[in-house]
Structure 1
């Protein structure tokens, strides 16, 4: 079954706009002194430069030269459309416009050559979503009878040696005067004579009223005597 042809409004609009722009460029070139086939070549040159710059921009958005030639071609097409809208007397074209139209072929040739022969930068490669997997580690066969070696017992630190306790020297025995020793001997003899038993040290200390160390020294000397 044959497919039905459906007109595309966008395509029709593009053809109409292109034909009008083509005619305006032709009229301007003809008015500037480019008659015959040359007047028809000017619209083709402008439109081809515009298409070449646009194709370059599709592959390299940040290419400054492509943007420059695109703006130049668009300005030439738009300027011709505005100039032929009644703002310019096509019977008396100014000299600067004649020079501009005459120099356009060289400018268009330069722009087309640069757009075609300028290398396109290679697109940056996207980073991998997943990092490369590490190679699998070799499998080690483990037998049930294999037991791990016991870990060595930790070494115990030697116990610290206690510091020697300083020994205080014994206090020297107090020196008992001879007169005091004689008085104590008399008291001890009197107590033995009256009681028949040696006089206790605490009794002697109470009778003499002296410190214990002095009384003990006296008692020791009396026992040794």
Structure 2
């Protein structure tokens, strides 16, 4: 059971990328509980359909098979979402991949480019396709799901860290562009959450992931979704270009 106020986002439409599992699915569930219609974007059609079944929200959910690194696919999904729900009021850029673990000298160049293409260019593509409409409508909320790694860095994941730092910079730049339009753009920076992005975790890897988290545990997807939901709501009215830490005390700034 997800707590929510069905009147909070009634009549609004939210796009959630990477919405078929993990953090994205938790965000979708929370936005639905707050009354929004939700368009789930992800790359695996079968997983998307399974997620839609879990949400059990009927006509208030649509699914679109999209590779966010492909601007044509993003543009097409945006058009399909508008055709279904009329407009897009909320964009949650959550789609992301971790990439390999390797020292910089051994990190495959193609893998580095792929991580940037999905995590950073994908965020840009989605903003490019949707934010101008929000500006014309005089209202919108954009939340970019970055990572505390984009602030503090982690060894052996240079592609992921660079992409998440780029998301934070893109958040700040775009927020300043549209600051007087009624569109607010913010980022959240979670510490590690025990989701599919990490694959199967052995005890050593778990300990390393938690070593820098003062609260000593993983953040739950539902906790991230609660923060994202506030940033998507009209209650968030004077925060833009901000980076909201949800890292159990890990972040140093």
More helix by share: 1
Q: Using CA pairs under 8 Å that are at least 6 residues apart, name the structure with larger relative contact order, 1 or 2.
A: 2
TM-score (norm 1): 0.20
More strand by share: 2
Instruction: Say which one has the larger Rg.
Output: 1
TM-score (norm 2): 0.18
